[in-house]
Amino acid sequence: MPLGQRAGDKSDSRYCGVETGFDDDVPRVLSDNLAGGFDFLVAPLIDPSYRPSLLKRDANGSSPIPFASSDLLLSPSQWSSHVVGKISSWIDLDSEDEELRMDSEIALKQEIAWASHLSLQACLLPPPRGGSCGNYARCVNQILQGINNMQLWLRVPLEKSDSMDEETSDATCNNLSSRLTDSWEWWNSFRLLCEHHSQLFVALDILSSLPSSNSLGRWFGEPVRAAIILTDSFLTNARGFPCLSKRHQKLITGFFNHSVQIVISGSLVHDISQGSIEGLPISNNDINFEGTPIRHPLRPYLDYIAYLYQRMDPLPEQERFELGYRDFLQSPLQPLMDNLEAQTYETFEKDTVKYSQYQRAVCEALLDRVPDERASTTRTVLMVVGAGRGPLVRASLQAAEETGRKLKVYAVEKNPNAVVTLHSLVKLEGWEDMVTIISGDMRCWDAPEKADILVSELLGSFGDNELSPECLDGAQRFLKPDGISIPSSYTSFIQPVTASKLYNDVKSHRDLAHFETAYVVKLHRVARLAPSQPVFTFNHPEYSDKKSNQRYKKLRFEMPADTGSAMVHGFAGYFDATLYKDVHLGIEPTTATPNMFSWFPIFFPLRRPLCVPMGSPVEVLLWRCCGATKVWYEWCVTEPSPSPLHNSNGRSYWVGL
């Protein structure tokens, strides 16, 4: 049964598995574990004593397949839903012993073929042995070319790569670094040899000792499907029940949020006969499929994992809304070339937080613009450029009512379909005396009078990527010399990220163009490797004679010392905007406007993922280029190793003027 009911969470992390040993009586093992509360088994498919080299062959040189029981032991749905195949742990494909190496290769392929025949959803591969995994990865890569939907989970122990106290000196760290083990390195070598295959995943063995938080953070951008918690990793609380350290609890909660399933492994090491774990009852009356009362020996550990799951807060409404967009690549809007559809307008208009910030900004601008003694006699001219279906018009008029100021509004919109809705809105609200609708491009319109305040919502995920600078450059000519632009400035930000899923999704297109496109994406399964840094800033109005919207920036990111090596699949981009004075909105993680969902981050992929050794900086170069008919970005990495220049001359991705 699921660990619990958490509003909004329908992910696989609700289900907990158990690792078992080999047993010919698979139906009994499955029924006993399901009755004990577990949802699936991680179980060997063959007798561990089987070795291909020990088989007796017939006269034709062939041999039967003696290593597996009948597929009829369980129904196809039971095999598929409740069993993860565990590949034999004795396998060593990089052994110096040729017979063991050959046995291992034959057995691996036989077991995977049998698991595929059973329609299993996944198989657990044993961890690499020693320092080499080349032949192992080669064989797995061959297998990956031939399987359809089954996943392969590489078992990796989450070993502590920074086993010294935090106060240990840097010199000591340097002396010991060569002797420390980083299991991420195992995984990275293996997946590189397997060409980042999309069906290769990780199953992490969670041990009693954990690496640093920054080191652990790398895994949230990797394709981790399961976390195997060993029973001897559990502590004992004051009442004798199993529990986990605070750091373990935080890690498991993070896995729950990233659709990682928990698997309990090992034997009972806590002597519990009755009682409860953190307020949860421990049942002594679980019933197996024969109606016999049983008590699963690992139930106390399952109950504790369920407790951790159930005490998590429900997903906020915003997160539930965004679930379907998580790690889903979307092409950025072409605001000047394309007219938005009604559904897109409706989605953006639901973001009440954004428009309340705009209303605050207009309120402050009106109060600064018109003192109280002139409030009844002065009418402020406000132009909404890019009015859409009218949310900024409404916010501006509400600001005027709130401050007691008089307002004359010009609503400029190029989309003729949205203009129809604007006319209907003005008539419905009785705004005819206050609002004039202009159907046309703001860059071409000749305004009959100058504006006191210019309001726009032309910002994209990267600030300037929907051509706000170019549009406002064209519109600022009808702003008074002392006029106010809302927004008054905006800055883009980037940071290096591990994003295995996004990389594989881009790679699946098998062309250059998709690797040279910047995508809008709700980032979820990513590891943010260093704090974000500012890139390009634009101010409005901007009257300089030397004004140019072209930009170039070189940025250098230093990874935290305790992170270890890492893989950079690309760069996440954000923006922060000042609407007016102290009123801002944005999506940069450290300053993001709470509960605002109009913008997802942008993602700049790398054609070749960048391996960053421990202690090495990442240097990235980014250009904003402007032509007569388009604007585009180019980007590359120069350290720790050079990458190709992406999107040269806007050959793959550009925004049309």
Catalytic site residues? Answer: 457, 466
Q: Is 345 assigned a ligand-binding role in the annotation? A: yes
Tell me the C-alpha distance between 451 and 383, whole Å: 6
Residue 531 amino acid letter: P
* Cα distance between the two ends of the chain: 55
β-strands 618-626, 551-557 pairing: antiparallel
Q: Is 429 assigned a ligand-binding role in the annotation? A: no
DSSP secondary-structure letter at 316?
A: P
Candidates 618, 631, 643, 409; CA nearest to 515 is 643
Cis, peptide link before residue 541, omega less than 30° from 0: yes
Q: Is 559 assigned a ligand-binding role in the annotation? A: no
Tell me the C-alpha distance between 157 and 354, whole Å: 45
| Beta carbons of 520 and 605 less than 8 angstroms apart | no
Tell me if residue 227 falls in helix, strand or coil.
Answer: strand
Tell me the C-alpha distance between 215 and 349, whole Å: 40
Residue 276 amino acid letter: S
DSSP states of 284-312: S-EE-TTS-EE--TTHHHHHHHHHHHHTS
| Beta carbons of 407 and 451 less than 8 angstroms apart | no
Tell me the C-alpha distance between 622 and 551, whole Å: 8
Q: Is 94 assigned a ligand-binding role in the annotation? A: no
| Beta carbons of 382 and 451 less than 8 angstroms apart | yes
585: burial class by Cβ within 10 Å (0-12, 13-18, 19+)? buried
Tell me the C-alpha distance between 332 and 355, whole Å: 22
Tell me the C-alpha distance between 486 and 384, whole Å: 10
Q: Is 558 assigned a ligand-binding role in the annotation? A: no
Tokens of 250: 């935080």
Tell me the C-alpha distance between 83 and 418, whole Å: 54
Residue listed under structure tokens 């034999």? 88
SS3 letters across 508-539 = CCCCHHHHCCCEECECCCCEECCCCEEEEEEE
DSSP states of 154-188: EEEE---S--S-TTS-HHHHHHHGGG---HHHHHH
| Beta carbons of 490 and 577 less than 8 angstroms apart | yes
Q: Is 410 assigned a ligand-binding role in the annotation? A: no
Buried b or exposed e, range 33-59, using 16+ CB within 10 angstroms? bbbbbbbbbbbbbbeeebbeeeeeeee
Helix (H) and strand (E) counts in the chain: 17, 30
Tell me if residue 146 falls in helix, strand or coil.
Answer: helix
Q: Binding site for S-adenosyl-L-methionine: what residues are annotated?
A: 345, 354-355, 413, 441-442
Q: Binding site: what residues are annotated?
A: 345, 354-355, 413, 441-442
